[in-house]
A and B are shown apart, each in its own frame.
Chain A
C-alpha cells in the first residue's frame, strides 16, 4: 500500500454510486457544488447492477410469458421455447446501457468519479483505497450513500437477493422463505419463467384484501404456498426446507434456496467510529429530516439510514439532501412512498390501510371496484381491484391500494392524489379516458356511496367502520 503524499482538496464528497449516490451527485452538481463520487464497485450500485433492474428484466420476461396464452386467444401462434441465456444477455445489455448512461450523466455534470473503498481518517479527511493506491482527500461536506447488502452464504445452493438474478441457468426448482417484496417477486417471477417454486410464508404483510387476492392468484397459478413453521433448512448439496405440519416433519427439496433476510447497512467499514458519527444498534446511521448526522457536515441517505430499504426512498432523499447542501430551501416532509410488488398481476399501494387509519383515529370509509368489471381489463384479460380508503368525516383520501395489471403504472396517480391532499370530490370529478384502467379508480370512489356504474346494487363494495 502506498500512502499518497498530498491530501487533495475536494468540495462535496459522495460515498457510494448507487441510486442515492449518483442522484445526489447530479443534483448537487446542478446546484453548483463541485462533486466527487466514490464507488468501490460499479456505478449504479446494487440496484442497477444486481437488484431492481435485473429483477425487473426478469419480471418483464415473466409477464410477457404469462401473456402467451392470451396471444393465442388473439390469433397468434406463440413460441413455446424459451432461451434463458438470451434473457441473461438481454439483462446484461439493459444493465450496461443504464450504467453507461449514469457514467455519461456524471461526466456531463462534471462529477469526478473515483473508484475505490472510502473510509474516514478524520472529521474532514477521507482515504480511498484502490488496489495498491491509497489517496487522501479533504472535503467540505460528505454524503454517505453506501446502501446495504444481503448476507452471502457459504452453502453452494443458497442464494442471496443479489445472486438470485445472476444465475447462468434457470433453476428447475426454487425454495423461497419469506413474505417481503423480494420473496414474493422472486416466487412469482421464477414460477412464471418455468421454475417449480415453493414459497414458505404465513402472513404476507400486505393490505388484507390485496393479500387475499394475491394468495388466490398464487393458488390459481399453482405456486405452492406453505404456511407451516420452518424448523430446518439445509443448502449444502441441494436445498431442503423442513416444516412442522400437524406434528409431523415434512421436507421439501429444491435446486436452490432463497431466504429473504434483513439487509445489512454498509456502515461498518467507513471508520465512522473514528469521527464520532453515531450508529444505531442495527448499523444504520441516524439522521435528521435533511439527512444530517450528528456531525454538521456529514450527511447520510438511502438504505444506510433508518427507514424502508428501497431505491424509491434513496432517490428522494438524495435530491432533498443534495439541494439542501446546495443552499436551497428544501421540503423536509417525509413523502408518501408508493410501494410496488411486481407479482402477476402487480400490486401497488400508497398511504394507509383501513387498520392503520383506524389506529390513528380516522373513521374509515372504503370503496372497492373489481377490475373484471372494467372494460379495458376485459379486453386485455386479467383480474384484481382498486380499493380506496377515506375518512368518512373529512372525506380525505387516506390510502389507495391496487392489485391488477398496470398497478405500478397507476400508482403515480394515487400518490399525487395523496400529496395533493385530495378529498373524495377531488377524485370523483376528474374524468378518466374511456376505455382505460384508470376508470377503475373513479368507480372505486363511487363505490363509497354504492354508486359504481358497472356493478349491480348487490355487488357494490363499500364499507364503513
Chain B
C-alpha cells in the first residue's frame, strides 16, 4: 500500500486545502496521473500518483486543510501484468461503472423513458464502463449512437491539455461540437476569487491621466548613469506615500467586528500574466526597500512568473494590488479588487499626446491613464480622487519623492 502524502509544491508551503479529488476509490491510476488538487492561498497544484495501482482509500475529505506530510490517500500498487491497461488502456482511466449504484428502473418501467440506443450501443457503453445515460446524443431526437459513446469515452480519457488528433478528425466529420478548455486548477481559482470579490465588494472605478514626461526623463537620466530602474518601482514608491496619506485604501473591511483594519505592512501584489493565467506575486515590506532593491525584486518576480516558476513564498497575501497593463496596451479598465483588499490600481499605456501647457502652448507630453477601483463601503469618490491626485502629483514631479525619504 502506497501512501500519497501532501508534499511541498512551492517553496515554504506548509499547508494546503484539499480542493478536489480527481479519482475515486476503486479507480485505476497510472504513475504521474494527477489524483488530487490542493489549493493554497494563491494557487492550486495537482499531486500525481507515485505508482500505478488502485485507489484504495481517500483519507482526507475535500475542504480540509492539512499540513505538509499528511497522508491524503492510499494506492495499492499493482504489477503491470495485473492491470488491464495493456489491453484496454482507456478502461483503467474511466471511473468504475456503477450499474449497481444506478437506481434500477422497476421491471415494468415504460420503455419510452429509457435511453434511446440500440442494444449494441448500450453494450458498447457497458464495455467501456460508462453509464449510457451520461452520454449526450448528437442526434436531436436523443438517439445515442456508437459515435456518441466513443466520443464520450475519448473525452474521458483525453489528457487535460491536449486532445488526441484522432478525436479532432472525428469531430470535424461530425457536427463540430464546441472545443472545451478544462475549467479547473488556477482558472477555477481565479474565477472563484473574482466572483467572491465582485459579489462582495460594491466596486467603483475612476479614471485619471498622468503626465509621465518628467518621470521618464528622470529615468532616462539615471539610465545614462548606469542605473536602470523599472517604472513599477517608482509607482510603488509613490503609491506607498499616497497610501500613507489615505490609509483607507490600504485596509481590510472586517464586517463581523464592525471595523476597518488599516494595514501597517506594505505587501505589494503585482497582478501578473503567467502561462497558467493571472497570478498575484507579492513584494513584501515594499516600504523598506530602496528603488534599486524594488527594481531587482520586480525583475526576478517577473522572470519567475513568466517561467511558471513562482514559489509559494511569492504568493503570500498582499495588502494592496497594482496592475501595470501598460506594456500590453489599453487606455482604461474597470479592474476587480483583490479581495479582501479595499482598492486596486491599474496603469495603462503611456502615449505621446499633444497637451496644452501652463503658457497655453501646445506641447508634446507622455501621458498615461490609470484606473482605480475601490470599495465604496469603506471610501467615497472624493477620497479616491484625493488619493489619485496625491499619486499623480508625485509622478508628475518625481523629485518631490525625495521629500519623502526617511
Name which of B137-145, B172-180, B210-218, B233-241 contacts chain A: B137-145
Which DSSP category, helix, strand, loop or mixed, fits chain A's interface?
Answer: loop
- Contacts A334-B109, A423-B141 given; indicate if A288 touches B118 (C-beta within 8 A): no
B contact face: mostly helix, strand, loop, or mixed: loop
Instruction: Known A329-B126, A334-B105; judge A421-B110 contact (CB<8 A).
Output: no
Query: A306 to chain B: which residues have CB within 8 Å?
Result: 106-108
CB within 8 Å of B: which A307-366 residues: 307-308, 313, 317, 329, 331-336, 351-352, 356-357, 360
CB of B116 closer than 8 Å to a CB of A: yes
Q: How far, in angstroms, from A313 to B109 measured CA to CA in the complex?
A: 13
CB pair A352–B108 under 8 Å, yes or no, is: no
Binary contact track B153-196/A, C-beta < 8 Å → 1, others 0: 00000000000000000000000000000000000000000000
Answer yes or no: B81 CB below 8 A from chain A CBs. no
A333 vs B110: C-alpha distance in the bound complex, in angstroms?
10
Q: How far is the CA of A307 from the CA of B105 in the complex (A)?
A: 12
Tell me if A396 and B104 are in contact (CB < 8 A). Answer: no
Contact bitstring B116-128, A, C-beta under 8 A = 1, else 0: 1111001100110
Q: Which residues of B contact A356 (CB under 8 A)?
A: 110, 112
Which partner residue on chain B sits nearest A352 by CB separation?
B112
Within 8 A of B (CB), among A375-433: 391, 393-396, 398, 418-421, 423
* Listed A/B pairs (23) with beta-carbon separation below 8 Å: A306-B107, A307-B107, A307-B108, A313-B107, A331-B119, A331-B126, A332-B104, A333-B114, A333-B119, A334-B108, A335-B111, A336-B111, A351-B111, A356-B110, A360-B112, A394-B140, A394-B141, A394-B143, A395-B141, A396-B141, A419-B119, A421-B116, A421-B143
In the bound assembly, the distance between CA atoms of A168 and B378 in angstroms comes to: 101
Q: Is A289 an interface residue (CB 8 A)?
A: yes
Task: List residues of B (275-320) whose CB comes within 8 Å of A's CBs.
Answer: none
| B111 neighbours in A (Cβ, 8 Å) | 334-336, 351, 418
Please state if A360 and B113 are interface contacts (CB–CB under 8 Å).
yes
A121 beta carbon closer than 8 Å to chain B: no
Q: How far is the CA of A333 from the CA of B99 in the complex (A)?
A: 11
Q: How far is the CA of A334 from the CA of B108 in the complex (A)?
A: 7
CA of A452 to CA of B104 in the docked complex: distance in angstroms? 42
Chain A residues closer than 8 Å to B141, beta-carbon distance: 391, 393-396, 423
Bound together, the chains give a CA A302 to CA B119 distance in angstroms of 21
A290: Cβ under 8 A from any B Cβ:
yes
> How far does the alpha carbon of A331 sit from the alpha carbon of B99 in the complex, in Å?
10
3 smallest CB-CB distances across A and B, nearest first, come from A394-B141, A289-B104, A288-B104
Instruction: Give bound CA distance, A126 to B89, whole Å.
Output: 44
* Contact A398 B116, beta carbon cutoff 8 Å: no
Whether B107 lies near A317 (C-beta < 8 A) is yes
Q: How far is the CA of A97 from the CA of B355 in the complex (A)?
A: 111
Which chain B residue shows the least CB distance to A317?
A: B107
Return A116 CB to nearest CB of chain B, in Å. 28
A332, B122: Cα distance in complex, Å: 10
Decide yes or no: A334 and B107 within 8 Å by CB, A329-B126, A394-B140 being known contacts: yes
Name the residue of chain A whose CB is nearest to the CB of B120: A420
Q: Which of A283-300 contact B (CB under 8 A)?
A: 287-290
Given known contacts A356-B112, A398-B112, A423-B141, A287 and B126 CB-to-CB distance under 8 angstroms: no
Residues of A within 8 A of B122 (CB): 331, 333
Q: Is A450 located at the chain interface by the 8 A CB criterion?
A: no
Instruction: Name the distance in Å between B96's Cβ and chain A's nearest Cβ.
Output: 13
Query: Is there contact, CB below 8 Å, between A287 and B107?
Result: yes
Q: Which residue of chain B has its CB nearest to the CB of A313?
A: B107
Most chain B beta-carbon contacts within 10 A, residue among A287, A289, A305, A423: A289
Q: Which residues of B contact A335 (CB under 8 A)?
A: 111
**Chain B interface size, under 10 / 10 to 19 / 20 to 34 / 35 or more:** 20 to 34
- The answer for the CA separation of A421 and B127 in the assembled complex, in Å, is 20
User: Taking A332-B99, A394-B141, A395-B141 as contacts, is the C-beta distance between A308 and B108 under 8 angstroms?
Assistant: yes
Q: Cβ of B107 and Cβ of A305 under 8 Å apart?
A: yes
Nearest to A361 among chain B residues (CB) is: B112
A335 to chain B, nearest CB (A): 7
In the bound complex, CA of A290 to CA of B102 (Å): 11
Complexed CA–CA distance, A119 and B5 (Å): 54
CB-based nearest B residue for A305: B107
Given contacts A288-B104, A329-B127, A331-B126, contact A396 B116 (CB under 8 A): yes
Q: Which residue in chain B gives the minimum CB-CB distance to A337?
A: B111
> 1/0 per position for A73-93, CB-CB distance to B under 8 A?
000000000000000000000
Contact between A360 and B108, CB atoms less than 8 A apart: no
With CB as the reference atom, state the residue of chain B lying closest to A419: B119
Question: B115 to nearest A CB, angstroms?
Answer: 8
A395 contacts across to B, CB distance below 8 A: 141
Q: How far is the CB of B97 from chain A (nearest CB, A)?
A: 8
Smallest distance from the beta carbon of B88 to chain A beta carbons, Å? 13
How far apart are A78's CB and chain B's nearest CB, in angstroms?
A: 44
Return B111 CB to nearest CB of chain A, in Å: 5
Please measure, in the bound complex, the distance between the C-alpha atom of A356 and the C-alpha atom of B122, giving whole angstroms. 25
Are A394 and B142 within 8 A (Cβ)? yes
Shortest CB–CB separation between residue A147 and chain B, in angstroms?
Answer: 15
Q: How far is the CB of A327 from chain B (nearest CB, A)?
A: 13
Q: Considering the chains assembled together, what is the distance between the CA atoms of A418 and B143 in angstroms?
A: 12
Residues of B within 8 A of A313 (CB): 107
What 0/1 readout, one digit per residue, does chain A (167-185) give for beta carbons within 8 Å of chain B?
0000000000000000000
The CA-CA distance from A201 to B215 in the complex, in Å, is 103
Instruction: With both chains docked as a complex, state the minimum distance between the C-beta of B241 and any C-beta of chain A, in angstroms.
Output: 69
**In the bound complex, what is the Cα–Cα distance between A265 and B118 (angstroms)?**
33
Q: Report B144 CB to chain A, min CB distance, Å.
A: 9
Name A423's closest neighbour in chain B (CB-CB): B141
**In the bound complex, what is the Cα–Cα distance between A84 and B47 (angstroms)?**
82
B128 to chain A, nearest CB (A): 11
Q: Which residues on the A side are within 8 Å of B142 (C-beta)?
A: 394
Residue on B with the closest CB to A396?
Answer: B141
Q: Using Cβ atoms and an 8 Å threshold, which residues of chain A touch B143?
A: 394, 396, 421, 423
Known A-B contacts A287-B107, A289-B105, A317-B107; the reply to A334 vs B116 at CB < 8 A is no
The complex places the Cα of A269 from the Cα of B116 at a distance, in Å, of: 41
How many Å from the CB of B406 to the closest CB on chain A?
76
Q: How far is the CA of A395 from the CA of B108 in the complex (A)?
A: 25
**Residues in chain A near residue B112, CB distance under 8 A:** 352, 356-357, 360, 398
CA distance A160 to B123 in the complex (A): 42
Given A289-B105, A289-B107, A306-B108, are A421 and B117 also a contact pair (CB < 8 Å)?
yes
Q: Which residues of A contact B119 (CB under 8 A)?
A: 331, 333, 419
Please measure, in the bound complex, the distance between the C-alpha atom of A308 and the C-alpha atom of B109, giving whole angstroms: 11
Give Cα A370 to B142, complex, Å. Answer: 32
Contact with A along B345-374 (1 / 0, CB 8 A): 000000000000000000000000000000
> Within the complex, what minimum Cβ distance (angstroms) separates A422 from chain B?
9
Whole-angstrom distance between the Cβ of B229 and the nearest chain A Cβ: 69
Given contacts A334-B111, A352-B112, A394-B142, contact A419 B106 (CB under 8 A): no
Q: How far is the CB of A400 from chain B (nearest CB, A)?
A: 13
The smallest C-beta distance from B132 to any residue of chain A, in angstroms, reads 9
CA distance A357 to B112 in the complex (A): 8
List of B residues within 8 angstroms of A333 by Cβ: 114-115, 119, 122
| Residues of chain B lying within 8 A (CB to CB) of residue A393 | 141
CA distance A391 to B112 in the complex (A): 12
Could you tell me the distance between the alpha carbons of A106 and B111 in the complex, rounded to whole angstroms? Answer: 33
Q: Which residue of chain A is the closest to B99 with respect to CB atoms?
A: A332
Bound form: Cα–Cα A454–B105 in Å: 43
